[in-house]
Amino acid sequence: MPIPEALAAAHGQGVLTLDSPSFRSLLAAAGVEAPATRDARVLGPLTAQGSWRLADAVLIVEPLRLKLDDTSLEGRLQASLAEPQGAEFELHGDSLDLTRYLEPEDAQGKPLVLDAEALQTLPVRGELSFERAQLAQLRMKGVRLTLELEDGRLRTRRP
């Protein structure tokens, strides 16, 4: 979707601050139904801080600090608002217990559904890494994922 010419020429900078008591509620307010999870407390408190700058239709947030539930992430985000639109990110986290985010064993909930049309047109690439991660009894260190979302398909690559 093309951006207005005035936005393409806009320049600015500032501070980003977000403090939400519930990411689940924030998703609902945006019209996105969060999936059922094994731990009903996840998708709870979300905070974000960073410095942003906009120039030549490119938005950069760096440094970016996020905290969701018990996981802290630091890194950067860059998004092109002009054609071709797209986003890139690099986030490093301390620890993540993936088991808490799995659907319940007796799941009857709906999967997370996002606007497929919007996802198909917005390529996103990035690296997500964690010092420690856990999935059930499997404990991992130095987990690193390279993610690519393009043409509506999510791919992971070896870094």
CA-to-CA distance for 137 and 114, rounded, in angstroms? 30
Global pTM reads 0.80
For the sheet containing 124-135, what is the strand order?
A: 12-20, 46-55, 58-68, 71-80, 86-97, 124-135, 138-150, 153-157
User: Which of 123, 128, 118, 121 is closest to 76 using CA atoms?
Assistant: 128
Residue whose entry in the numeric block shows the structure tokens 């260190």: 141
Q: What is the reported pLDDT for 143?
A: 95
Q: What is the reported pLDDT for 149?
A: 81
SS3 content of the chain, % helix, strand, coil (to 5): 15, 50, 35
Q: What is the reported pLDDT for 111?
A: 54
Amino acid, res. 4: P
Q: Which residues contact 143 (CB under 8 A, 6 or more apart)?
A: 96, 129, 130, 132, 133
Backbone angles phi and psi of 99, in degrees to 5: -55, -35
- Domain spans, the chain: 5-157
Name the burial class of residue 88, with classes exposed (0-12), middle (13-18) and buried (19+) by CB atoms within 10 angstroms of its CB. Answer: middle
Q: What angle do CA 36, 38, 128 make, to 5 degrees?
A: 85
pLDDT along the chain (159 residues), means of 10: 68 97 93 88 97 95 98 97 89 96 76 51 88 96 90 66
Q: What is the reported pLDDT for 152?
A: 64
Spell out the long-range contacts of 136-141 with Cβ–Cβ below 8 A and sequence spacing 24 or more: 136/99
CA-to-CA distance for 1 and 80, rounded, in angstroms? 12
Structure tokens at 71: 């996981």
